[in-house]
Amino acid sequence: MEGLVGNLTLGFATALSWQNLGLAFIGCLVGTLVGVLPGVGPIATITMLLPITFGIDPVGALIMLAGIYYGAQYGGSTTAILVNIPGEATAVVTTLDGHQMARQGRAGVALGIAALGSFFAGCVATLVIAGLAQPLTRLALLFGPAEYFSLMVMGLAFAVVLARGPILKAIGMILVGVLLSTVGTDLDTGEERLTFGYGPLADGIDFAVLAMGIFGFAEVIRNLDYQETRSVVVRAIGRILPSLADLARSAAPILRGTLVGATLGILPGNGAVLGPFASYTLEKRLARDPSRFGRGAIEGVAGPESANNAGAQTSFIPLLTLGIPPNAVMALMVGAMTIHGIVPGPMVMTKNPTLFWGMIASMWIGNLMLLVINLPLIGLWVKFLTVPYRLMYPAILVFSCIGIYSVRNAPEDVIFTAVFAIVGYALIKLGFEAAPLLLGYVLGRLMEENLRRALSIARGDLMTFVARPVSAGLLAVAVIVLVAAVVPAVRKGREEAFKEE
Amino acid sequence: MRVRNPQDLLAGLVLVGVALVALWAAGSLSQGRLGAVGPGMMPRATAVLVGAVGALVVLSAFVAPGPRLERWSVRGPFFVCLALVAFAVTIRWMGLLVAGPLVAVISSAASPETRIKEILVFGIAVTAFSIALFKYLLNLPIPVLVIPGVIVL
């Protein structure tokens, strides 16, 4: 416990310097600014804004990136409530009751409770991260390549179950992602693999390029398929501070949402996406009058928003302690860290404690800033939302192009994103989900590396993965999760959790 | 045998196609042994799995009913991608001052609601803003205006 206090003190000392406070502020602000744009989720936002962190020292850059991430999350909720367009999957739930509240003239309260709930969730999640970081890091140091491989298999098993839509297609997407990760130069032999002799592919496919194309641009193209039918609620934002009755109603949902979200967020394999859905289902079950849900129930905003933010934050845990990104946003963080010369994993905490604890402390500060800067600025975000899509998407494209180009100063990267935009559009039309593909891509390279290392240590004996107890345990969990997902009862529950009425 | 899920039929076939292309591309890579895995083992093994899953998806399309194929639009994807390619081609040779408005104008053709004068002014404004932000405030090495042999800004 004493160590924890000492570490957090070190963290706050780092994060509270004027420079870092300023960077957190700018990060939150521009993150919200871009995240508010309809159809632009955290992935596209981070990719677009990554270049602005290039000139900063690593600690400051990561603090700013974390701010951008929270800002994007929060901006997504604003859009979900005011325009009924979710920026990403997790904001879908917020549209249900949040937008209804907005139509009833209670947009301000919905935004206010979302901010308050998120802030509370952020405080708890920061403590969870600080508390779990050390034990998990110690555990990670005991892991050999076989354990790492099995852990990632488990993560992918979770990703399959947590993906929406048919399980078989999710498995297919993960495998395609792993396949894509093998493109490029082989690490051991230096041979080029699956490059079709095309030079720029020798370095492999850049993750930011893949994510921007498949997620960001494909979304822009898809939105163009539909005519403009946005109904921005501008007239009455109403009061922002929730009344005491509202607070009393929301307190328990916020608490439950935080717990649900924080727990699911730790799971490797994108557990954070399930948080808001689970919280919404939970609140609806517990409610005395479930029929209020979908018609502007404040619990339906408070719970899921808290779960969303808690999960968004605890999903840093697998990345910071084990070096395994649990979802696409964290994978972007890996890319950003690598650009600044940091390899995420158990060594960061021991080798670079200022950076590690400074970032954790800045998470809390970021949450506080969101509360302080966003509530007064809601009027500004609303103005922003009235810009018609016909102007918004060309601007998104211009900024994205600059972002992609700046990552490596490579024009061909922009062309790759165009290719992946078409791929992403095709995936949408074929009923595939892109998230498992990205996760497969991210973990693919790490998996192959650890698989090859583990096998060469065991002299080619595949039994090494089951002979080592920790590895065997992790694989067993993976099998149980996958089998359970096919069992009819659980399957029904899973479909229900993702149902959006 | 009747196709009950056209979307999955195509989806499965696409997976099988991806697997075949990957297997063909990995053709010359050495497989290695389990004790010393070669560069070809992982791509090949994954490709086989992708193909197997694809085949299962194809089979399932004959069993369970599912959605029809959605209509694919051409205009949206075409102009958005054309805009991206235009950016890639012009950024080094002409600079952001040309590439920025070009992206805005070309991509605007993807939407039926575009008004040409509006997008011209807006595209230039967005570009000016980006130049101020990325070039002068953040000092990113992005070319602003290039006239080959005359000027590089």
| Residue type for position B80 | V
CB contact under 8 A, B46 and A459: no
User: Which site among A430, A447, A495 would you substitute to test the B interface, given the most B Cβ atoms closer than 10 Å to its Cβ?
Assistant: A430
Q: Looking at the partner chain, which of A196, A390, A401 has a beta carbon nearest the beta carbon of B84?
A: A401
What are φ and ψ of residue B146, in 5° steps? -125, 125
pLDDT at A90 over 90: no
- Name the more confident of A416 and B138: A416
B85–A418 C-beta distance less than 8 A: yes
Residue from A500, A110, A492 nearest A284 by CA = A500
pLDDT tens digit sequence for B76-108: 999 999 999 999 999 998 999 999 999 999 999
Q: Which of B148, B133, B9 is nearest to A402 (CA)?
A: B133
Q: What is the pLDDT of residues A190-204, one digit of tens each?
A: 888 888 878 788 888
Residue with tokens 């697997």: B19
Confirm if A496 and A281 have CB atoms less than 8 A apart. Answer: yes
Q: Summarize the confidence of residues A278-300 as an average pLDDT.
A: 88
Q: Using 50, 70 and 90 to split pLDDT, how confident is the model at A490?
A: low
Using the beta-carbon criterion (under 8 Å), do B76 and A401 form an inter-chain contact?
Answer: no
Distance CA B153, CA B6 (A): 54
Provide the greatest CA pair distance for chain A. Answer: 70
Instruction: Decide if B118 touches A, using CB distance below 8 A.
Output: yes
pTM: 0.87
From the list B18, B89, B114, B52, the residue with the least C-alpha distance to A426 is B18
Q: Which two tokens stand for residue A322?
A: 């084990």
pLDDT the model gives residue A231: 62
> Which of A47, A196, A397, A455 has the most B C-beta neighbours within 10 Å, making it the best mutation to test the interface with B?
A397
What integer pLDDT is reported at residue A192 of this predicted model?
85
Interface pTM, i.e. ipTM: 0.93
Measured in residues, chain A has a length of 501
| pLDDT at residue A472, as a whole number | 94
* Measured distance CA(B77)–CA(A222) in Å, rounded: 9
* pLDDT at position A271 over 80: no
Q: What is the mean pLDDT of chain A?
A: 85
Contacts for A275 with CB less than 8 Å, ≥ 6 apart: A90, A257, A260, A261, A264, A265, A304, A307, A308, A310, A311
Is the pLDDT reported for residue A423 higher than 60? Answer: yes
Q: Which residue of A has its CA nearest to B14?
A: A430
Helix (H, G, I), strand (E, B) or coil at A236: coil
**A460 interfaces chain B, CB cutoff of 8 Å:** yes
- Report CA-CA distances (Å) from A260 to A125, A282, B84: 11, 10, 41
Residues of A in contact with B98 (CB under 8 A): none
- Residue A421: the pLDDT is 94
CA A268 – CA A151 distance, rounded (Å): 8
Q: Which residues of A touch B37 (CB under 8 A)?
A: 451-452, 455-456
pLDDT, tens digit (0-9, with 9 covering 90-100), for A219-229: 888 888 876 56
State how far the Cα of A209 lies from the Cα of A215, in Å rounded to an integer.
Answer: 10
Q: What angle do CA B90, B91, B95 make, to 5 degrees?
A: 100
Report whether pLDDT(A299) > 50: yes
A165 touches chain B (CB under 8 A): no
Flag whether pLDDT at A500 surpasses 70.
no
> How far is CA B107 from each of CA A209, A235, A389, A426, B130, rounded to the nearest angstrom?
19, 31, 12, 19, 17
Least confident of A33-42, A294-303, B39-48, B128-137: A33-42
Report the distance separating Cα A436 and Cα A178, nearest Å: 10
CA dist A405 and A416 (Å) reads 11
Query: Dihedrals φ, ψ of A185, to 5°?
Result: -80, 130
The pLDDT-based confidence of A155 (bands split at 50, 70, 90) is: confident
Write down the residue that tokens 């991210």 correspond to. A442
- Segment A228-261, tens digit of pLDDT: 566 665 556 777 788 888 888 899 999 999 999 9
DSSP A401-449: HHHHHHHHT-HHHHHHHHHHHHHHHHHHHTT--HHHHHHHHHHHHHHHH
Residue A36's nearest CA partner among A68, A4, A2 is: A68
Q: Which of A40-44, A98-102, A125-129, B148-152 has the lowest mean pLDDT?
A: B148-152
- Euclidean distance between the first and the last CA atom of chain B, given in angstroms as a whole number: 65
Average pLDDT over residues A486-493: 67
Q: Where are the beta strands (DSSP E) in A262-403?
A: none
Residue from B5, B18, B50, B78 to probe the interface with A (highest A Cβ count within 10 Å): B50
Determine the pLDDT at residue A135.
86
Above 60 in pLDDT, residue A501? no
Give the CA distances from residue A32 to residues A20, A42, A111, A406, in Å, rounded to whole numbers and listed in that order: 18, 10, 13, 21
Contact residues on chain A for B146, CB-CB shorter than 8 A = none
**pLDDT tens readout for residues A361-418:** 888 888 888 888 777 888 788 788 888 888 989 998 999 999 889 888 889 999 999 9
CB contact under 8 A, A418 and B18: no
**Min distance B124 CA to chain A CA atoms (Å):** 10
- Give the closest-approach CA distance of B85 to chain A in angstroms: 5
Q: Delimit the domains of chain B by residue range.
A: 6-60, 75-152
Cα–Cα–Cα angle for A178, A397, B152, rounded to 5 degrees? 105
Among all residues of chain B, which has the CA nearest to that of A176?
Answer: B50
Task: Please state the domain extents for chain A.
Answer: 2-143+150-202+209-497
What sign does the CA torsion over A238, A382, A109, A100 have?
positive
Residues B60, B66, B68, B72, CA torsion sign:
negative
Please give the Cα distance from A455 to A463 (Å, whole number). 9
Between B17 and A406, name the one with better pLDDT: B17
Q: How far is CA A48 from CA A212, A332, A370, B11, in A?
A: 9, 11, 20, 31
pLDDT of residue A354: 87
Q: Does the distance separating the beta carbons of A221 and B140 come in below 8 Å?
A: no
Mean pLDDT of chain B: 89
d(CA A372, CA A352): 30
Interchain proximity B76–A224, CB inside 8 Å: yes
Distance from CA of A391 to the nearest CA of B (A): 7
A259 vs A117: CA distance, rounded Å: 12
Q: Does A402 touch chain B (CB under 8 A)?
A: yes
Contact criterion met (CB below 8 Å) for A455 and A147: no
Contacts of B76 in chain A (CB under 8 A): 221, 224-225
B-chain residues within 8 Å CB-CB of A398?
100, 103-104, 123, 126-127, 130
Of A9, A2, A26, give the one whose Cα is nearest residue A354. Answer: A9
Closest alpha carbon to A323 in A345, A306, A305, A342: A345
Asked whether A265 and A312 are in contact (CB, 8 A), the reply is yes
Contact A75, A32 (CB under 8 A): yes
Q: Which is higher by pLDDT, A36 or A3?
A: A36
Chain A residues touching residue B96 (CB < 8 angstroms): 402
Asked if B108 contacts B134 with a C-beta cutoff of 8 angstroms, the reply is no
Structure tokens at A315: 């999903």
Report the 10 Å Cβ neighbour count for A427: 21
Nearest to A311 by CA among A362, A275, A278, A280: A275
Q: Which amino acid is at A120?
A: F
The alpha carbon of residue A317 and the mean position of all alpha carbons in its chain are separated, in whole angstroms, by 12
- Considering A75-79, A322-326, B83-87, the range whose residues carry the highest mean pLDDT is B83-87
Rounded Cα distance between A158 and A209, Å, is 25
Tally A–B CB contacts below 8 A. Answer: 199
Residue in chain A closest to B36 (alpha carbons) equals: A456
State the nearest Cα–Cα gap between B46 and chain A, in angstroms: 6
- On chain B, the residues whose CB falls within 8 A of the CB of A169 are 8, 11, 57
Look at B142 and A405 and tell me if their CB atoms are within 8 Å.
yes
Among residues of chain A, what percentage have pLDDT more than 70?
94
Nearest to A193 among B7, B29, B57 (CB): B29
